[in-house]
Structure 1
Amino acid sequence: MDEFLATPHGLRNSGEAGASAPDSPGSSIAGSARDSCTPGTLSQISADLAAISASMMTRKDKGKMVTELSAIIREEIAAVRTDLTALEQRVDVLEVERLQTQQHRQASELATTRQGNILLDLRRQVEDLDNRGRRNNIRIRGLPESEDEVPQEILTGLFAQILGDAAPGDFGIERAHRALRAPRRDGLPRDMICALLSFPLKESIMRAARSQQHITYMEAQISLYQDLSTITLDARRALRPLTRALQERRIPYKWGFPFSLQARVGNVWHIIRWPNDVPRFLRSANLPTITVPNWILEQPPARATGPTEVAHNIHLEPGPPRHRGGPIGPEE
């Protein structure tokens, strides 16, 4: 292009064109282009074009770049596959460990359940043995308390009054003492507990006490109860709302040993031995929903200042509820 513009023929043609149309619009544009397109400017443009052409990638360069990118991608994919394989192995190990843990947990729950059942059976046996050891015991409530008292003499006079003409010459009191606790703050006397050598004599005294409406001795109202274990007393306290409902509906009930509550509805006896028997018992007796604490799992209620034990009462025939603190003990 430079050679063409530099030749006299090109200049001549340009001059001739300009001379042939001096007044045409194109002549001024051509003159301006001729003035701006100096040899230096054209050289710069050529150099720029050459640089752009040199910087452009060839097919060989593109193929090399694609090859390098492919190699990098293959390496990255191989690394990802390696990581996935390691993760898969770890997941397999975790799955095996989870299965083993689940099996151990199930075995532990089964063992815990078995041990709980064994402990409940042992508790029931201990409770029964404790109550059997108290079979000859009588708990007397209401006897005035003094420091110089002689329990055997007091109880001999009381039992003789209860039995009357059927009283033997010797009651065979093996031991007698006040309840093993500090004196009550309200000033009421502590219960007196005695153990008789003869079980039939003890039953005779209890039957005679039940047959009497009131027992007064030493100018005090006296009540006689069967001595019971603490476990049994806690269970009876827990079932007190239920026994009150039975009394209100005149449904006969009785206590059994080992511990149970038995109620007769129609000609069928329904029994409670464990806390989970309560819902079925309520449905069978047509009783409303009654909240009964779990006397095995829950903490037993705090005891009052004085004892609140109950007698081993047997209610076989319906009748009006007996007054609290009578000869056969407070109502449950």
Structure 2
Amino acid sequence: MRDLWDNIKWANLRIIGIPEGVEIDKGMENIFEEIITGSFPNLKDTEFKIQEAQRAPNKLNPKRPTPRHIIIKMAKVSDKERILKAAREKQNVTYKGTSIRLSADFSTETLQARREWQEIFKVLKGKNIQPRILCPARISFKIEGEIKIFSNKQKLKEYSNTKPRLKEILKGLL
């Protein structure tokens, strides 16, 4: 079910940090265009087709102090990938002086699965093993000259049992 939901959201782009109510005057498509032209000058000549733009979730949660995210459904996945690549390269994206984040839109289950890799990711990064979290929720890293990819912690644990150095690094995390 998670794979199906992520497949539906594959072309979606999530914008985090745009203040509430800004879209009433300008419209979300115009806000998106302002972000692209203001933050990514190398992409401003590109015409991006947007199928849909909306705030998510539909109702405002008073217990949540942050603004609701904006979901942009792109016509082409390649456009979303180019924007995300430009955002990673720039690192600090802003909209009218406010720092915002651009990310891929995943299902709640996938986001939770990605979060489960965070502690392991931090430890591996600290040991300079070059970890990466791949889509949708796999971890990869380089060890002994080869790149290893794991989709769950059990497989990583089985592999780490064959590598004493890795087992020592991940002690207590698996």
TM-score of the pair, normalised by structure 1? 0.46
Match of residue 177 from structure 1: 54
Q: C-alpha distance in 2, partners of 1:165/1:269?
A: 32
Aligned to 2:6: 131
Deviations 1:197-233 (A, max 9, x none): 1222222211111111322212200111111122211
> Greater helix share, 1 or 2?
1
Is 1:163 matched with 2:40? yes
The match for 1:235 among 98, 110, 113 is 113
**Deviation of residue 258 (structure 1)?**
5.6
Distance 1:257 1:216 in 2: 25
Report what 2:68 is aligned to: 190
Q: Matched residues in 1 for 2:131 and 2:157: separation?
A: 17
Distance 2:13 2:92 in 1: 17
Q: Aligned ranges for residues 115-154 of structure 1 at < 5 Å?
A: 126-146=1-21, 148-149=24-25, 150-154=27-31
1:288 aligns with 2:170: yes
Deviations 1:176-211 (A, max 9, x none): 111215335353212111111122222221111111
* Structure 2 residue aligned with 1:267: 145
Q: Which residue in the other structure is 2:124 paired with? A: 246
Q: Distance in 2 between matches of 1:248 and 1:204?
A: 29
Whose radius of gyration is greater, 1 or 2?
A: 1
User: For residues 140 and 185 of structure 1, what CA distance do their matches in structure 2 show?
Assistant: 20
Provide the C-alpha distance between the structure 1 equivalents of 2:138 and 2:91, rounded to a whole number of angstroms.
27
> What is the RMSD of the two structures over their aligned residues, measured on CA atoms?
2.3
Deviation of 1:140 (Å): 0.9
Question: What is the aligned length?
Answer: 167
How high is the TM-score relative to the length of structure 2?
Answer: 0.82
Give the Å deviation of 1:279.
1.6
Q: Name the SS for the 1:271 alignment partner.
A: strand
